[in-house]
Structure 1
Amino acid sequence: MARLDINSVSKSFGAARPADALSLTVEPGEIVAVFGPSGSGKTVLLRMIAGMFEPDDGDIQVGGRSIVGAAPERRGIGMAFQNFALFPHMSARDNIASGLRAKAAGDVATRVAAISKLLKIEHVLGHTPRELSNGQKQRTALARALIGNPEVLLLDDPLRNVDAKLRYEMRLELPSLLRRGTAAVLYVTQDYREAMAIADRIAVLIGGRLVQVATPDEIYAQPASVAVARLFGDPTINLAEVVPFAEHGALCARVSGAMVGLGSADVDALERECWLGVRPEDLVVSSSPGEGAIPAKILAITPMHEKAVLLLRLADGTEWLAALPPEAPRGAADDAVFIGFAADAAMLFDRATGQKIGLSHRRQAA
């Protein structure tokens, strides 16, 4: 078993800097998802670990041993790519075995049989890549990465090119499959649902910088910044410009002219220009006013099977989204309604920096 340590690693290509002083530790048997928008530096990080690029600064260690400058085959790394990268002239069996043969490792046939059975592709081992479905190609590429029992496993968005049904199935299967080994796993994805379903921790990468590393629940419930909050959730988080103030010992704010309570007063947020963030699923929509209710008008309703999404316009023109369970009353387009939320559903972010402030009582996401 070996731990992966990334210590202050940076990489530049001319004026572009896709990796800026990145530091991250992945324990043996742990799955860490590297999540971020396109161009944030995710693949560059994996390629530095694999040896395709060398870092300009910093160090990368596997089991306490620096691998910077080491040949790729001597790094103890297994890697699967989003485009599968299978040898087109080889059968699935030979593709899986190619890494072992390069190392002259043990009984190749036995190990290929074992890993292909685990991944349910033993019936297509004689097929070439052009005869395989995308799902079978993905499993073949994963088998090739796993068969050598690597100390570190790098998965570069491996489910991106498979259909929705298989992607859902693999989100369920992959965590238990990966935890059967002891590899430290880095899993790159642009899909926040995938990151939350598969990973023990998520490392959020934006503009070449790691902006938050935490468990999926912690990142969803306690995002470090507005940028992180916007990346997680569908529909995305609602935001309003507010300047919180104290009222009878409680923190309050005005949203579209209505005064809403935010729980116990926090001196860090008082009289400070903030963004108020509320998740769409935390909004309550009613036809009658109540304490702290915000008047709004329904612009549109989109049924989404497990929920209905309401597009709402507040009195000041701000548009918010509410995600309601199917059984909840929802009204109709053009209806006047009132929306509210519990104090523990609110998040405050500094408007100048985007960083989260106060409101440490925010509950964990289900």
Structure 2
Amino acid sequence: MSMPMHPHAAPEVLPRFGRGRRWVHEALERLAQEAARSADTHLLKLALPGFPQIPFYFKDESSHPSGSLKHRLARSLFLYALCNGRLAEGQTVVDASSGSTAIAEAWFARLLGLPFVAVMPASTAPGKIRDVQALGGHCDLVDDPAQVHARAAWHAERGACHLDQFGLAERATDWRGNNNIAESILGQLRLEPSPVPSWIVCGAGTGGTSATIGRYLRYRRLDTWLCVAEPAGAAFAGGWRAQDRAACATRPTLIEGIGRPRVEPGFLFDVVDHVIEVPDTASIAATLFLEECLGRRYGGSSGTNLIACMQLAAAMRACGEAGGIVTLLCDRGERYEQTLFDPTWRAEHRIDPERWLAALRACAHDGEWRAPPERP
């Protein structure tokens, strides 16, 4: 009986390997080289007079080459697609995104020489659309934000590789380490007076960041609590409180990147210890307050995070507790020059940040939380 040929000797296999696997190896090498060239992002410390025993730390993810926290996610999604055999040479890549993920994915698609399509709500900040286009990506704008998933699936049915940030973020990211954001934060705190923070605060867009941080805190057996900062009325808060994955948002939000209208597959409720809902006006005021404190502009989700941090710090101070609070500066404020930082745009959307700005300045000074009443 003749023995079967060794797989590498089969003529019909060699051409397929030459066309496919060799390019995948080259693509993975490019991603590894990019990761090796990338420095970690800064962890900024802010001391507020009202909280002498509670230092604030801000992980500045806007300093990534593509300008946001989503640089980490985009790299992970491309790695996941390549290693699962879903992405081939010359194949179009598509994803549904309100901006920052799309910009990061366009950046990596250009690195790998691949066409990229971002399915975006038509209301996305113009600066983000321009950034995707500047990187060679195409923006497929959808009038109804609820239809972005279906539109991305439409592209996938026609041969595109759907990176699927909402469906795959929590599984594509290595939550045990490999310089994920949680490991990075804890490593940068190691020489601080309190190297294990009391709280880490983040938003929920895909759910990948909160899932990664929550899992890592448990994996490392740390006593740090995890809080999700959520635009008021968005789906994560309602779903988390009721443990209901069918929960939907009760109101829209102006804060891009977080505040999803539905519970996404990557939302892991059980690794989150607390959720704080934040009105849009408060988030935008906090974004302006961040510029006062740090001298740079950041996006609206960074303001949402800051509001949650201030509330937690005031509660800790009232109970006589000490300890650090860490949060994320998610993306560059320059992307919102025509929206959040534009007084005309704010007036059109009935956003008057002054009362919230006054409340934040007072809280930073005396450590007491006094949220102004919402206007009808």
Q: TM-score, normalised by structure 1?
A: 0.24
- The structure whose Rg is larger is 1
Indicate the structure whose relative CO is greater, using CA pairs within 8 Å and at least 6 residues apart: 2
TM-score normalised over the length of structure 2: 0.23
User: Which structure's residues are more often helix, by fraction?
Assistant: 2
